[in-house]
Amino acid sequence: MKTRADFLRAKALQLLDANLALKFLISPAGKKGKLEAEKIRAQILSWNKKELREYIEGVEETIKNLRRQYGVVASSSELLDFLKWGQETLPGHVALPRVVEVRKFFHDYSMIFPNSKLWPAHARITFDYHGAGPNGDPDRGIRILEATIYEDMSALWNLLNERAGDDNPKSMPRERKTLYALRRATISTAVYFLEAYVNGLAFDFLADPKRTFTNEEKSVLSEWNFEKQQPRYLSLKDKILKFQRIILKTQHAPIQTNNSPSMEKILYLAEYFRNPLAHPDPHFKPISGKQDKELAIYDISIEHARDAVDSAVDLSMKLEELFHGDRCRIPWLLPRTQAGCFPKEAFE
């Protein structure tokens, strides 16, 4: 038969988890917080009724104050589910919820991260229960898919630019082939970056509760056929044009190939260079009788790679201004400098 102490002990353990979950949501404590919680858990198991009552009274007040201070609206069960999710990540790894999901837990998430209102809905926040940082400190920060691929593209271009002089008969084969590999990788990653940016736009507008879309529009923006329950793939060109019409509610896309040199250029490079790289094929084309795909891979120049990165950056900036009126949401997106490379700020 359970005693009064047993009930108090059970309540104390529940409040320990509730407090831990709340603090994990607000600011993960890493390894130190994890060890401290385990220490308190062991103490609860040995405390008498007076000690249990004092702990319960104190932790209830702590939870109440934290909720008020940070405007937390999530229920205790939601917080505990969130904590459990974080605990289930493997040591050395972090939980990565999207910011649109975490915002629901607060009246105003900018009370935690002042600049978070500018973050895209698909941005992921690092929640580190195990303490993957140095000395067991929590790994904190955000991860934005298109920003990560932009950094990849920038790094590849900078390496390519540094090695541009290796394209001469006197260079060692390894140096020349490394240069050619960088050309191919750079042009492909430029297209990947643009597509990631465009896909992110679609996600953000779909996640906006103030926006309404028809089922057909949702199908296009999410690239999902809801009737057949299968993917509905769109070309990069279709995405850029259709997303504009759907999101802006216009009959014609404001930015098109006939008025945007950047769009025209990147789509050309995507079709004639990136696509053959993504789907290498030695077969002859039935109509032209040429090995168009395979030969295109050997024709990539540093100028093609340069045009790809510049066009991808420029078109993304123009789309951002079109949809949001300015570029405040993407301070990380920077063009190449006059020196020819992406600046160090592009990697910060």
Domain ranges of the chain: 4-143, 145-347
Buried b (16+ CB within 10 A) or exposed e, 329-344: bbeebbebeeeebbee
pLDDT of residue 292: 66
Tens digits of residue pLDDT in 256-274 = 999 999 999 999 999 989 9
Residue 123 has pLDDT above 90, yes or no: yes
Structure tokens at 265: 């250029």
pTM, to two decimals: 0.90
Tens digits of residue pLDDT in 209-225 = 999 999 999 999 999 99
Residue 282 has pLDDT above 80, yes or no: no
Q: What whole-number distance in Å separates Cα of residue 187 and Cα of residue 30? A: 40
What is the SS3 assignment for 224?
A: strand
Residue 290 has pLDDT above 80, yes or no: no
Residue 289 has pLDDT above 70, yes or no: no
The string of DSSP codes covering 17-50 is: HHHHHHHHHH---HHHHHHHHHHHHHHHTT--HH
Residues near 326 by Cβ (< 8 Å), separated by ≥ 6? Answer: 320
